[in-house]
Structure 1
Amino acid sequence: MPAPLGSRAPTRRAVLAAGVGLVAGAGLTGAAAADPPPLPAAGAAFDRESLIALARERAKAPYVAPRTDDLPPLLRNLGREPYGAIRTAPGRGIWEGEGLPFTLEPLQRGSLFVNPVQIYLVEEGRLVPLPYARDRFRADGIELPELPPEAGYSGLRVRARLGQGEPFEAAVFQGASFFKMAARGQSLGVTARALTLRPADARGEEFPLFRALFVERPGGDGALVLHALIESASAVAALRFALAPGERDTVCDVEGVLFARQPLDHLGLGGAQASFLFGPLDRRNVDDVRASVHATDGLAILNGAGEAIWRPVHNPDSLQISSFVDENPKGFGLMQRARTFRDYEDDATHWESRPALWLTPREPWGPGAVTLLEIPSDSEANENILAYWRPKEALVAGAEMRFAYRQHWAWDRPEPPPLARVTASRGGRGGTGGRRLFLVDFAGEGLAGSGSLDIALSAAPGTITRQELVGDPAAKTARVLFELDPGSERASELRLVLRRGGRPVSETWLYRWTP
């Protein structure tokens, strides 16, 4: 695991996370037995080690609840659309017009995003606080109220320019400790989590929050470095993000140091969440003209043994939790493989342009499990799919842990293994009774070789009553058709892989069927 240094109710996950409070640089409420060290002042020297030291000291003090009652009702009560209409005023972006490859746009507090985040620029190793200024924003039809300079912002948008091209939205840090990124030509989709604590836990989920963001002035290497102080009742963390936007992918290297205020026995690293309403494998209770509606269609894993796994996601009737036990995973992520307009037939949302998010650990992560949560949802606005790495080892109060990983926000994962991959999964009513019929399509070089293909297919529990393989070596494709009889069971774990001569030539297709 990352190196320790010492000893239909829950469908609104993203909405709830956006609404929890955040400690700000000013305006803290409640008297603590020992107040945490304050955020650094203007002109203070700053580097990564100083932020880690601040996080370590803050973790020794009790958590102080944030104050959000400074926000006027007009902003607090804004609906989703009026809030979304607030834009950065022309000429008011940070570094705008300076010839740099990035422009920063602080984000207005309001609506779901009431929590104050303090933003600093790092200029020649010194901190320059960014006070709130109403004239940074243009809000058609809304008279924004005046707020004091220490009111802070709700987060930060990063616009990037590649060469002489037009700037594009490359990243957003906003809501709890969530962030999104995209390559040029993509629209924002999957949401990453800087830290995940107790998701779908009987004790209740805890949402760590951005406390402050520190952005270094970019150099000439086309990368932007951003630091974050993250805090909750159970933990404090200092993170460093180095993001490099690109044509085919935006790469982000994440390094973090976590300090446990309280014992952490359900910790998630590398968390990612996205929406899945329906698709070809799961169209139950769907009355919609579109072909599919989702920002992700599956979880991909390259486990420590080198097995490539594809797990289509679905929208269940009840919460589903799947754990893929592993040691030192090589990578995992929420993918979006359906890439044509015809896959969705959605003229407004264009789900086909949403990025996939692939994560690669930068050092061995030890034993644990890639964990997948599938939450019932009746709205495409709900990010009801969550995947993260859960280390097996718990952290005791006072312990510290370092972790690092690389993210690829891309059209596809980098360097996929040389195996035939799943290109489509479909499900529907079977022949008789409660039987279910499945079609799984594969494509890839591994299907072009000589020799017969074998189907390795299992169901637990349940019975496979029929299976067929239709292959086309010239086209390098194969389709597996099979029928499941679940009997009286309410769930069945399905596993399918194509083999030749006893060796896998395809990804391993996994799926949990539920009625």
Structure 2
Amino acid sequence: MGACRYQGRKDRIMPRANRRVRSRTLPVKMLLASTVVMLWGTTMSHAADVTDYPSLVEHARALATKPYEPRQVELPPALQGLDYDAYRDIRFRPAKALWRGADLPIEAQFFHLGLYYDTPVEINLLTADGVRRVDYSTDLFDYGSNPTPTDIDKSMGFSGFRLHYPLNRDDYKDELIIFHGASYFRALGAGQWLGLSARGLAIDTGERSGEEFPAFTRFWIEWPRRDAHQFRIYALLESENVTGAYSFLVTPGDSTQTRVEATLFRRGEFAKLGIAPLTSMFHYGEEVPRPSNDFRPEVHDSDGLLIHAGDEWLWRGLVNPAQLSINAFQAKQLHGFGLMQRDRDFTNYQDLEAHYHLRPSAWIEPIGDWGEGSVELVQIPTKNEVNDNIVAYWRPKDGLSADKPLHVKYIIHWQHDELAGPEYGRVISTRIARSNNPEGNHRYVIDFSGTELNALPEDAQVSADVSFPPHFVVAEQIAFRNRETGGWRLVIRGKLKPDAEKPAELRARLVGAEQKAMSEVWTYTEPAS
């Protein structure tokens, strides 16, 4: 249950001057470059005869009719029993990067098998001469203090890969997108530092039966053109109960975009399907006092879940719950959702290593009508910042049937300065003052800010619109101008009834004349004692 953070937390990039990148769609046949450049460490491969997305779909369809056969490899003694530090000591040699010195816009580097990365991943190249498998070699890696393994077949494979691209300056290729561990991947825009991850699929997240982690087991990377500004990757997803064909079109920029197309086939039984899952970390934020043993005011990769459904924008601030928390937000017309890092003020983090104020937000933009369903938010208790403890995904009402594949398309926007959200008031902070007196009320202080909202005159008719269940009592609700921020503040004083046995879902927003919405909807779960 939940999501392990697969990438070391210190794997960052240094931010440099922003540079916007032009993007355009190129025909597949133009993306396949000539092989004038000698193919590096590769072997001709049939790789299930996959040469494009339709052939990958047919391959995934055929696999769904067969029992699952997990890919396994016996690691040599030198790679068995590695701890975290020993595994991190195995580093790819940048000078050995695929396409290094070939005057192409991207380079590829690869991750070694070991530790909990024990599922071999086959990586292929789609070239003008056919499909070629990237061969494993110990020459590609610096093993640090570890002994160099011997007698390993070149077909052993890797545990993942990453593409590098000059995001921030022309003479240096930064990490652009990383695929490493199960179906996890994450991308970066200009000036960003590695943060939250996306996943190919979520199966039974938060279920008592335990979560299943489908994995990308094979990749096909299209050979890039010299003038390319977009890059195509195909991937085969497999697990005991599902197969899938994936296409990723990566467009670098200030907000890098990953256009995803997936066709899913049911192979076995499971209870819950999560589409376009995002995973992040939330240790603590502004709504609680910082731990006495930590100098940092806040520690998180994301601070809220944003949903746009119908004509409503909804904001749910993240928490580190005392126990597993699952919330479902129903939607008939989903326009988008995402895990956002809205707070960009370094003074609220004070972390010169992690740079949480530069972590990207990830916004999911559905392509086409996704029908009815719900955005589910899973929050898992954590005592530190090491592991991801936040998961958000779309759960379609009809799920995935055994006799019909599910086809979805969406774009992931890896955002920094330009965040998705309404033009009017957005929640910028939530602070809670809890009464120590059982007879007293808690205070929920929500600050809103936005171009339209902040431009209102002092005497504008703005009021608080608050909804709550019968087992919660509100003593006061008031909205007023916050002269320090230029925005507006909404304050709720209230508490659960003494006999309340279940949590209370609170909703609040700012409204103007005739109940016109002046802000997105703030939501919060007041836990039962």
TM-score (norm 2): 0.86
Identify the range of structure 1 (463-472 vs 331-340) with the bigger mean alpha-carbon deviation.
463-472
Q: Distance in 2 between matches of 1:45 and 1:221?
A: 22
Q: Distance in 1 between matches of 2:366 and 2:251?
A: 18
Q: Does 1:471 align with 2:481?
A: yes
Q: Does 1:388 align with 2:393?
A: yes
Q: Does 1:229 align with 2:236?
A: yes
For residues 297-316 of structure 1, what are the structure 2 equivalents within 5 Å? 297-303=303-309, 305-316=310-321
For residues 470-489 of structure 1, what are the structure 2 equivalents within 5 Å? 470-472=480-482, 476-488=486-498, 489=500
Q: Does 1:81 align with 2:90?
A: no
2:56 is paired with a residue whose SS is: helix
Q: Distance in 2 between matches of 1:153 and 1:397?
A: 32
- Deviation at residue 285 of structure 1 after TM alignment: 6.2
For residues 277-356 of structure 1, what are the structure 2 equivalents within 5 Å? 277-283=283-289, 287-303=293-309, 305-356=310-361
Q: Distance in 1 between matches of 2:281 and 2:81?
A: 25
What amino acid sits opposite 1:119 in the alignment? I
What amino acid sits opposite 1:321 in the alignment? I
What amino acid sits opposite 1:513 in the alignment? E
The answer (yes or no) to whether the contact 1:264–1:396 under 8 Å persists in 2 is no
Identify the range of structure 1 (259-268 vs 96-105) with the bigger mean alpha-carbon deviation.
259-268
What amino acid sits opposite 1:442 in the alignment? F
Match of 2:216 in 1: 210
Which one of 163, 169, 174 corresponds to residue 158 of structure 1?
163
Match of 1:510 in 2: 523
Q: What do the CA deviations read for 1:138-196 (whole angstroms, capped 9, x no partner)? A: 13222231321111100011111146242111111011111011112211111101011
Q: What do the CA deviations read for 1:230-286 (whole angstroms, capped 9, x no partner)? A: 10111100100000111x211010001111112454111010010101001134866
- Deviation at residue 131 of structure 1 after TM alignment: 1.2
Match of 1:240 in 2: 247
**C-alpha spacing 1:47/1:274, structure 2 compared with 1 (3 Å):** same
Q: What do the CA deviations read for 1:109-142 (whole angstroms, capped 9, x no partner)? A: 1112111000001112721101111111113222
Q: Distance in 1 between matches of 2:131 and 2:181?
A: 23
The answer (yes or no) to whether the contact 1:263–1:396 under 8 Å persists in 2 is no
The answer (yes or no) to whether the contact 2:372–2:397 under 8 Å persists in 1 is yes
Q: Does 1:123 align with 2:127?
A: yes
For residues 248-267 of structure 1, what are the structure 2 equivalents within 5 Å? 248-263=254-269, 265-267=271-273
Which one of 362, 377, 393 corresponds to residue 382 of structure 2?
377
Q: Distance in 1 between matches of 2:82 and 2:269?
A: 37
The answer (yes or no) to whether the contact 1:260–1:396 under 8 Å persists in 2 is yes
The answer (yes or no) to whether the contact 2:2–2:390 under 8 Å persists in 1 is no
2:63 is paired with a residue whose SS is: helix
Q: Distance in 2 between matches of 1:347 and 1:474?
A: 27
Match of 1:495 in 2: 507
- Deviation at residue 485 of structure 1 after TM alignment: 1.3
2:100 is paired with a residue whose SS is: coil
The answer (yes or no) to whether the contact 2:285–2:297 under 8 Å persists in 1 is yes
Q: Does 1:273 align with 2:283?
A: no
Which one of 358, 365, 372 corresponds to residue 363 of structure 2?
358
For residues 115-194 of structure 1, what are the structure 2 equivalents within 5 Å? 115-124=119-128, 126-146=130-150, 147-162=152-167, 164-194=170-200
Q: Distance in 2 between matches of 1:85 and 1:404?
A: 38
Long gaps (5+) in structure 1: 1-9, 17-38
1:149 is paired with a residue whose SS is: coil
Long gaps (5+) in structure 2: 8-43
**C-alpha spacing 1:479/1:42, structure 2 compared with 1 (3 Å):** closer
- Deviation at residue 89 of structure 1 after TM alignment: 1.1
**C-alpha spacing 1:472/1:435, structure 2 compared with 1 (3 Å):** closer
Q: Distance in 2 between matches of 1:422 and 1:367?
A: 26
Which one of 72, 97, 101 corresponds to residue 76 of structure 2?
72
What amino acid sits opposite 1:326 in the alignment? A
Which one of 456, 461, 464 corresponds to residue 449 of structure 1?
456
Q: Does 1:105 align with 2:109?
A: yes
Match of 1:94 in 2: 98
Q: What do the CA deviations read for 1:361-416 (whole angstroms, capped 9, x no partner)? A: 00100000000001111120111000000000033324211100001011156553
The answer (yes or no) to whether the contact 1:445–1:476 under 8 Å persists in 2 is no
**C-alpha spacing 1:512/1:42, structure 2 compared with 1 (3 Å):** closer
The answer (yes or no) to whether the contact 2:3–2:391 under 8 Å persists in 1 is no
2:452 is paired with a residue whose SS is: helix
The answer (yes or no) to whether the contact 1:119–1:130 under 8 Å persists in 2 is yes
What amino acid sits opposite 2:86 in the alignment? P
Q: What do the CA deviations read for 1:27-50 (whole angstroms, capped 9, x no partner)? A: xxxxxxxxxxxx962795611111
The answer (yes or no) to whether the contact 1:83–1:110 under 8 Å persists in 2 is yes
What amino acid sits opposite 2:488 in the alignment? A
Q: Distance in 1 between matches of 2:391 and 2:358?
A: 20
2:334 is paired with a residue whose SS is: coil
**C-alpha spacing 1:469/1:125, structure 2 compared with 1 (3 Å):** farther
- Cα RMSD of the aligned pairs, angstroms, is 2.2
Q: What do the CA deviations read for 1:288-334 (whole angstroms, capped 9, x no partner)? A: 2110111010000011x121111001010111110000013000000
2:58 is paired with a residue whose SS is: helix
The answer (yes or no) to whether the contact 1:11–1:382 under 8 Å persists in 2 is no
**C-alpha spacing 1:42/1:209, structure 2 compared with 1 (3 Å):** closer
Identify the range of structure 1 (104-113 vs 43-52) with the bigger mean alpha-carbon deviation.
43-52
Q: What do the CA deviations read for 1:403-433 (whole angstroms, capped 9, x no partner)? A: 0000101115655321111111112323732
The answer (yes or no) to whether the contact 1:43–1:126 under 8 Å persists in 2 is no
Q: What do the CA deviations read for 1:62-109 (whole angstroms, capped 9, x no partner)? A: 1113324x1134424222233223222142101111121111101101
What amino acid sits opposite 2:466 in the alignment? L
Q: Distance in 1 between matches of 2:327 and 2:289?
A: 21
